[in-house]
Structure 1
């Protein structure tokens, strides 16, 4: 079985609701947070599969198309790869928030699909998010769910950023 880290996108990998960008609806709006590529590279070197699981209701609400979202994700993966950071797969729920679909976090279908497709051991895996739905989705499938930027009582641990979370993951896996 494989070990994995599941990352939310907005607020964990890239800026959102900052002075530079409100939402990422075009690839030109994608600004990586400091240390993200290096953190993902460390996970790669430690043989973790790295996945992005993201709610992208902007598609369902008409702010961008599926093709535009695919372009953003291709750009993100390509730019990270240039820095030595590999993403195994990016999965996005494109339903509008009010649709209450099974894949939109806090629903856990994206995680369940990846766990199954890649033969992932939940006991050796982590979810890293910046909002309550991320933590709820990870907890629902039994993965240690870590919060960055914010705090949440149901998070296993809370950190200031992805780099700090990854350092803790690498130590935790040795325990």
Structure 2
């Protein structure tokens, strides 16, 4: 199974400074993200979202707020005929030392455990942070950084999410 591992905030929906997330209760989609996801699916990829949500344990949002925004995002994606296979998130603070906070590979290992048919060599990671592309580099799989200049094997820089289909 080919997987498009996508970051959530700043890749699919708009991201905010940590302290602004407290007031966010509905997602705003990044321009072109929904159509890009449709194209990714049309190229026989399943979508798994992997997202650092350290803002939960660091006290900026509650777990309920995270669930609320995620549920609204998934509802809109389903309405737009975009099916997300699964979501893995890391709620731990940046100083907690967990193994799931990107660029560590804990969320990918969880996905592989749940979906052993995933073929990492045919999969890729895309996100808007250095942690996303470092995770791809650490796993030695294709990675796409949105406005992230990263010199590494199998890593491409995109100006925005709409450029992704050009590489698939």
Query: TM-score by structure 2 length?
Result: 0.90
Contact 1:16 1:22 in 2 (8 A): no
**Aligned equivalent of 2:125:** 127
Deviation beyond 6 Å, 4+ runs, structure 1: none
CA distance in 2, matches of 1:100, 1:23: 25
For the pair 1:12 / 2:11, whether they are aligned, the reply is yes
Q: How does 1:62-77 map to 2 (within 5 A)?
A: 62-77=59-74
User: How far, CA to CA, are the matches of 2:23 and 2:81 in structure 1?
Assistant: 23
**1:97-139 CA distance string (max 9 Å, x none):** 1112100001111012213322211111000011111111122
Task: State the distance in 2 between where 1:101 and 1:146 align.
Answer: 24
Cα separation, partners in 2 of 1:17 and 1:27, compared to 1, 3 Å: closer
Partner of 2:151: 153
2:36 matches 1:39:
yes
Correspondence for 2:81: 84
> Could you tell me whether the CA contact under 8 Å between 2:130 and 2:148 is conserved in 1?
no
Structure 1 contact 40–86 (Cα < 8 Å) conserved: no
State the secondary structure of the residue aligned to 1:68. helix
1:27/1:71 contact within 8 Å kept: no
How many Å separate the matches in 2 of 1:57 and 1:17?
Answer: 13
Q: CA RMSD in A?
A: 1.9
Query: Number of aligned pairs?
Result: 166
CA distance in 2, matches of 1:59, 1:44: 30
1:95 aligns with 2:85: no
Candidates 84, 97, 104, aligned match of 1:107: 104
Per mean C-alpha deviation after superposition, the further-off stretch among 88-97 and 133-142 is 133-142
The answer to whether the Cα contact below 8 Å between 2:26 and 2:72 also exists between their aligned partners in 1 is no
